[in-house]
Amino acid sequence: MTKSALQIERAAYQPKLPKALKGAVKVQEGEPTHSVADMEEIQKLFPNTYGMPSIKLVEGEAKEYPVINVGVILSGGQAPGGHNVISGLFDGLKKLNPANRLYGFILGPGGLVDHNYKELTADIIDEYRNTGGFDIIGSGRTKLEKVEQFEKGYEILKELNIKAVVIIGGDDSNTNACVLAEYYAAKNYGIQVIGCPKTIDGDLKNEMIETSFGFDTACKTYSEMIGNIERDCNSSRKYWHFIKLMGRSASHIALECAFQTHPNICLISEEIESKNMSLDDVVTYIAQVVADRAADGNNFGTVLIPEGLIEFIPAIKKLIAELNDFLAANGEEFAAIAPAKQREYIIGKLSPENSAVYASLPAGVARQLTLDRDPHGNVQVSLIETEKLLSEMVAGKLAEWKKEGKYVGKFAAQHHFFGYEGRCAAPSNFDADYCYSLGYTASMLIANGKTGYMSSVRNTTAPAEQWIAGGIPITEMMNMERRHGEMKPVIRKALVELDGAPFKAFAAVRDQWAKNTDFVYPGPIQYFGPSDVCDQTTKTLQYEQAK
């Protein structure tokens, strides 16, 4: 692999570890845990892994550990730092016993089922230290839920004498990890399963999981680009830039990028839902800011739009819920309908209320809502061009206001979607350290015989030395939700909390950002230089931890 000068320098970076992980480690158990909701159902579904205590890793006495083979899987969307989770896991395993071996399953959970794997040796690991991407073994979205899949996986685990599997993934993938851990425990197969919290979306977090890895780097990468756009925008003063940002459901990425760049508008899906706003309300809000700025002579600005917005507009959310159930039951019949007739077909099948909402949507968006779901049953919101939908509707509203004499300005829009641009960026120092620590922690949970746990590293706004490593039972994060038309146990997504410190801080300043041009241009992530430039965590984490 040809490397850039930065990659060569960066390869030598030694990620920081919490103090407790630097030497021999022992487990300190906390109180038994309960699921966040639906306790009875979750306990019934996970009799072997429910109620386990949370775990803290503390300094212990050196001891000998038997040789163990471990498998690792990268699951779901890419997130900066995945390679460091694997290098931390590898280094931890080798420290426990140099004869330990690590196998990577290729292209996600499918690799386990299809027996597609490779051994990850020191030479391979060294090539990937502190790099972005998941290309060391690739990733995939295969959902592990069927007994045949678990059994196929077990065949290869037995063959390779693998006693533990680490699944690096988001909420859906860690749900898979939990189901797999429970199955192998119930069968007494002697296979441990440990999860690691990954996703740029930032929605896999709770009391014990402060942040998912990749959120830090992805937000900094998007913020650099938003800052560049803002500077361009403030230089030519002739465009409104509509910027959609990844984050399937939650608006954490948009909110964090807003803190870093001070756009004129940042929509927060969770607020739109709680205020029961219609699409027209959202359009009116944006158009009003555009009109107010135009009145001050400013025919330019920036709007940040969370990717999942459309699903949070209550009327559209109801429509999607009915569409999900309908398509889960009638997918084949729908697929057989000629594309030109599909809209009409759906209108005829939905309840009157949802049918009316569906009929009111622009054709492109209506079509996108019926496209294939991902393997977890989610609408693929990254395919819906909300940024164009909104800017077209704002243009329409402004044209009406112009006729009525309520608006005197010029409106020209540019569109952007930042998602894939940030998912494989070289990890920031924070993500490099955090991921390495998560992987290293996973090795220690394995060595201590744990299964059904997620690797956890806390106190992350303090210097890495003071981070607290441990494990949280995955069942603690679970509740029951409707998926593919059925109630399923899943990890509860952490959405933006409207009474949380980050949102409140944003709400207090957004009107000033709307009126004034207070753009911030954060520039690129820095890997070498002063600590207050290179080691800053996200503002979201700073607000959350300050409470």
Phi, psi of 128 (to 5 degrees): -110, 0
Beta-carbon contacts of 429 under 8 Å, excluding residues fewer than 6 positions away, are 13, 527, 534, 535
CB nearer to ligand FBP: give 308 or 489. 308
**Sheet strand arrangement including 413-418:** 265-266, 301-306, 240-245, 413-418
- Burial class of 531 by CB neighbour count within 10 A (0 to 12, 13 to 18, 19+): exposed
Report in angstroms how near the CB of residue 194 gets to ligand FBP at its nearest.
Answer: 18
Residue 470 contacts ligand FBP per CB under 6 A = no
Residue 382 contacts ligand FBP per CB under 6 A = yes
Report in angstroms how near the CB of residue 481 gets to ligand FBP at its nearest.
Answer: 15
The 10 Å Cβ neighbour count of residue 195 is: 36
Cα dihedral sign, 374-377-382-386: positive
Q: Which of 35, 174, 175, 199 binds ligand FBP (CB under 6 A)?
A: 199
Give the integer Cα–Cα distance in Å for 335 and 242: 33
By CB under 6 A, the residues from 383 to 422 that bind ligand FBP are 419
Report in angstroms how near the CB of residue 56 gets to ligand FBP at its nearest.
Answer: 27
By CB under 6 A, the residues from 67 to 86 that bind ligand FBP are 76-77, 79
CB nearer to ligand FBP: give 79 or 268. 79
CB nearer to ligand FBP: give 423 or 483. 423
Query: DSSP letters of 385-403?
Result: -HHHHHHHHHHHHHHHHHH
Residue 252 contacts ligand FBP per CB under 6 A = no
Report in angstroms how near the CB of residue 339 gets to ligand FBP at its nearest.
Answer: 22
Report in angstroms how near the CB of residue 329 gets to ligand FBP at its nearest.
Answer: 24
Give the integer Cα–Cα distance in Å for 33 and 36: 9
Q: Which stretch binds ligand FBP (CB under 6 A): 243-251, 284-292, 321-329, 480-488?
A: 243-251
Report in angstroms how near the CB of residue 107 gets to ligand FBP at its nearest.
Answer: 13
Report in angstroms how near the CB of residue 11 gets to ligand FBP at its nearest.
Answer: 25
Report in angstroms how near the CB of residue 193 gets to ligand FBP at its nearest.
Answer: 18
Give the integer Cα–Cα distance in Å for 56 and 441: 10
CB nearer to ligand FBP: give 263 or 308. 308
Q: Which of 91, 182, 201, 216 binds ligand FBP (CB under 6 A)?
A: 201
Q: Which residues pair with 69 in a beta bridge?
A: 101, 162
Q: Which of 246, 268, 446, 464 binds ligand FBP (CB under 6 A)?
A: 246
Residue 320 contacts ligand FBP per CB under 6 A = no
* Active-site residue, from 201, 216, 431, 433: 201
Residue 248 contacts ligand FBP per CB under 6 A = yes
Give the integer Cα–Cα distance in Å for 530 and 515: 34
Residue 195 contacts ligand FBP per CB under 6 A = no
Q: According to DSSP H, which parts of 1-146 are helical?
A: 5-11, 39-45, 82-96, 109-113, 122-128
Residue 307 contacts ligand FBP per CB under 6 A = yes
Number of residues that bind ligand FBP (CB under 6 A): 15
Residue 377 contacts ligand FBP per CB under 6 A = no
Give the integer Cα–Cα distance in Å for 282 and 391: 11
Give the integer Cα–Cα distance in Å for 188 and 176: 18
Residue 15 contacts ligand FBP per CB under 6 A = no
CB nearer to ligand FBP: give 191 or 424. 424
Residue 110 contacts ligand FBP per CB under 6 A = no
What is the residue type of 457? V
Q: Which of 81, 104, 170, 377 binds ligand FBP (CB under 6 A)?
A: 170
Outline where DSSP puts E strands in 213-363.
240-245, 265-266, 301-306
Residue 140 contacts ligand FBP per CB under 6 A = no
CB nearer to ligand FBP: give 200 or 447. 200
Residue 200 contacts ligand FBP per CB under 6 A = yes
Q: Shortest CA distance to 42 belongs to which of 52, 55, 56?
A: 52
Give the integer Cα–Cα distance in Å for 486 and 482: 5
201 classed as catalytic: yes
What is the residue type of 522? P
CB nearer to ligand FBP: give 447 or 496. 496
Q: Which of 247, 301, 471, 502 binds ligand FBP (CB under 6 A)?
A: 247
Q: Are 242 and 387 in contact (CB under 8 A)?
A: yes
Q: Are 356 and 350 in contact (CB under 8 A)?
A: no
The residues of the shown chain that bind ligand FBP, judged by CB under 6 A, are 76-77, 79, 170, 199-201, 246-248, 307, 381-382, 419, 423
List, by residue number, the catalytic residues. Answer: 201
